[in-house]
Amino acid sequence: MLLPAWEMRLYGLLAVGSYLYAFYEAHRVSRKYEAVMDREFGLEPGTLFRGLKKDPMDFEWSYWIEWGRERILWLLAGHLLVSQVSRLLVEKYKPWCLMVYGMAACWLLLGIKGFAVILLHATISFAVAQFQLSVLTWLCSLTLLSTLRVPAVEEAKRKWYDTENEYYLLLFTLSVRCLFCTSFSLEYCWHGPAQKSSHSFLWMLAYVFYYPTFHNGPLMNFDEFSKQMRSQEAFSLKTNLRIFMVGIMRIFFWWCLAELMIHLMYIHALYSSAPPLEAASYWALGGLALAQVLFFYVKYLVLYGVPALLLQMDGLKPPALPCCVSLMHSFTKMWRTFDVGLHRFLVRYIYVPMGGSQSSLLGTLFSTALTFAFVSYWHGGQSYLWYWGALNWLGVIAEGGITKILSISPIQDLIERSFSPSIRRRLHAVLASVSTSMLILSNLIFLGGNHVGKIYWNRIFVEGWPWATLTVLGFLYCYSHVGMAWEQTYGVSAE
């Protein structure tokens, strides 16, 4: 251990204590504005936690919970049944059994027109891939993605459904399917003629219509999917049952935790109304910010946890679930460990082909910028997403630049001669606290919009300078020490 045990205990105590007090203040401000939030946004009566009202303003959580309860969970249960029976009786034909089931589930949920659009996207992507030109494949993918935002096309698709929620389900599904089609098509371009049989149109359909990842991910690149789906591992019903029971208990716990958070703290409702944020204390502001990013983390433990469990039951290895955001102390690690599937996609198909870290300085800047430009556009392309992407690009570039400068031999030798390991760790935590503050700000823009980011910037870094700013950085300094110690002890994966 680089630092004395008493010092690490102090950092841990300050980190946990500040978290709890900040959450308490966020709860207090939620109670204070409960009547206002109820009139403005319509808080829902608590079902899981009686006597408490529920914040319904997180669209993504409310949307997927409603769809899951009504139909998607039942269709996932059907997938599980087909998967286990096919593994038990016809392992060789498992991919095709699951493909047929996925297509049937798509037809049932999105209707024949929705099914036809997804099939059309896959067919066009496969046809363009025959030219084996990566640039052409990307042009095709971006064109198909852009059609989702053409007003006339949007209006035509809306008319297919009775409710807006049904249209949004098609929109979200097509957005995710676009990445799957892109992955298959690029892998097709990169593989030689001898391997084309493993990249047939039938395999593309098996990949695109694989139901656990169909509507919301997580993303799994085609080569990983194909390789694992082809391997016929020993099947044990007893082992699978144990995996299923443990997985269900974990997901239920995460779901209860997410629900508890939006019953105790009206994070999303308060973020939708500027006056309470502008009037809240600094502790309440901090508590709402921490609660917002932690809720996003727990939400994706549920939303990715369900399909990840089914992937395991199918004999596949899912991308790792998100790492706890409380332990994150850099932009780079956040991107590597939160949405692992998306990170692998961006690195394999954009960052590395454009030169990545192996190219010149300008090449690295360009390939990183292109990566964040794509992910911002894929998420919707609204103005706040471009600000979010730009902040993340600057953060990753700054961290990479500082790391490269400090790794230059003369500078590295000078630092090692001048500072002990414990001093170097403390200086690392100082830099990490600044990075973490910008990381949290960028996430608040992503989750709450430009107006939320502007309020936090003005309150903490402009009006609050120097005492509020330095206090926030001081607590983030403690969080950084805890995160680095956790990473060193438990080896947080950087994949």
In this structure, of 139-153, 188-202, 255-269, the range with the lowest mean pLDDT score is 188-202
Among candidate residues 249, 331, 351, 254, the one with its CA nearest the CA of residue 294: 254
- Nearest 5 degrees, angle CA 361-CA 362-CA 364? 65
pLDDT at residue 45 in the model: 87
Residue 44: its H or E element = strand 44-45
Q: List phi, psi (to 5°) of 380.
A: 145, -25
Phi and psi torsions of 45, nearest 5°: -60, 135
pLDDT at residue 282 greater than cutoff 90: yes
* Residues 6+ away with beta carbon under 8 Å from 343: 335, 336, 337, 495
Helix (H) / strand (E) element for 53: namely strand 53-54
Nearest to 332 by CA among 351, 319, 317: 351
The beta strand positions in 90-221, using DSSP E, are none
- In angstroms, rounded to a whole number, what is the distance separating the alpha carbons of residues 200 and 203? 5
Q: Return the amino acid letter for 1.
A: M
Whether the per-residue pLDDT at 326 is higher than 90: the answer is: no
Per the listing, tokens 């700054």 go with: 398
Residue type, 71: R
What does the mean pLDDT of the chain come to?
Answer: 93
Tens digits of residue pLDDT in 75-90: 999 999 999 999 888 8
Mean pLDDT for the stretch of residues 180-204? 87
88 within 8 A of 198, measured Cβ to Cβ: no
Q: Note the pLDDT tens digit of each residue in 250-276.
A: 999 999 999 999 999 999 999 998 899
Q: How much of the chain is helix, strand and coil, in % rounded to 5?
A: 80, 0, 20
- Terminal CA-to-CA distance of the chain, rounded, Å? 25
**Per-residue confidence at 2, pLDDT binned at 50, 70, 90?**
confident
Main-chain phi, psi angles of 54, to 5 degrees: -115, 135
Identify the band that residue 195 occupies on the pLDDT scale cut at 50, 70 and 90. Answer: low
Mean pLDDT confidence for 317-341 = 93
Distances (CA, A) of 54 to 82, 269, 277, 411: 37, 10, 19, 54
Can you give the pLDDT at residue 1? 64
pLDDT of residue 233: 72
Q: What is the pLDDT of residue 494?
A: 39
Kindly report, residue by residue over 114-141, the tens digit of the pLDDT: 999 999 999 999 999 999 999 999 999 9
Q: Which residues pair with 54 in a beta bridge?
A: 44
Residue 493 pLDDT level (bands cut at 50, 70, 90): very low
Catalytic residue among 379, 428, 451, 481: 379
Where does residue 30 fall: left (phi above 0), alpha (psi -120 to 50 degrees), or beta otherwise?
alpha
Task: Find the mean pLDDT for residues 316-323.
Answer: 94
Nearest-CA neighbor of 398 among 356, 370, 432, 424? 432
- Residue 350 pLDDT more than 70? yes
Using a 10 angstrom Cβ sphere, with 0-12 exposed, 13-18 middle and 19 or more buried, the burial of residue 426 is middle
Is 379 known to be catalytic? yes
Is residue 8 a contact partner of residue 481, using CB atoms and an 8 Å limit? yes
pTM (two decimals): 0.95
In the DSSP assignment, the letter for residue 70 is: I
